[in-house]
């Protein structure tokens, strides 16, 4: 893995209304992210208490920034704040070290 990879951990809780609209928008954002250069990983999990966690990994800061600033993604961010999320937390960090087994 490139030593310049960027990891985003996006934790969120949804509002109870607009869940179907959220699912459509989330699917579109995942499809769009998967088409972006440099995407290495995009996974989403839902905890028993309803919290959603997405793990997104890009190979370089430049590819991460291209995703972050993509116009359709920016619009989805705005819509999320205004319509979909009761709360969220985003952590973005450079990957210092990563080991996998088996290789």
Instruction: Tell me which residue range forms the domain holding 71.
Output: 6-94
The DSSP element (H or E) to which 57 belongs, if any, is strand 52-58
Bridge-based pairing of strands 39-46 and 85-94 is: unpaired
In a domain, 103, yes or no: no
Q: What is the pLDDT of residue 100?
A: 87
In a domain, 100, yes or no: no
Please tell me the total count of domains within the chain. Answer: 1
- Is residue 14 within 8 A of residue 87, CB to CB? The reply is no
Bridge-based pairing of strands 85-94 and 6-14 is: antiparallel
| Mean pLDDT, contiguous 10-residue spans, the chain (103 residues) | 86 93 94 97 96 97 97 96 96 93 87
pTM of the model: 0.89
CATH code (residue 71):
3.30.70.100
Q: What is the pLDDT of residue 28?
A: 96
Least Cα distance to 86 among 51, 49, 48 occurs for 51
Q: What is the pLDDT of residue 99?
A: 86
């Amino acid at each position: 893995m490139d030593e310049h990879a960027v990891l985003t951990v996006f934790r969120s809780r949804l509002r109870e209304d607009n869940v179907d609209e959220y699912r459509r928008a989330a699917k579109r954002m995942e499809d769009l992210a998967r088409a972006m250069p440099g995407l290495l990983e995009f996974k989403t999990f839902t905890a028993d208490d309803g919290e959603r966690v997405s793990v997104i990994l890009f190979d370089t800061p430049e590819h991460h920034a291209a995703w972050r600033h993509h116009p359709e993604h920016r619009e989805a961010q705005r819509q999320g704040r205004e319509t979909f999320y009761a709360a969220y937390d985003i952590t973005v960090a450079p990957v210092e070290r990563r080991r996998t087994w088996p290789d």
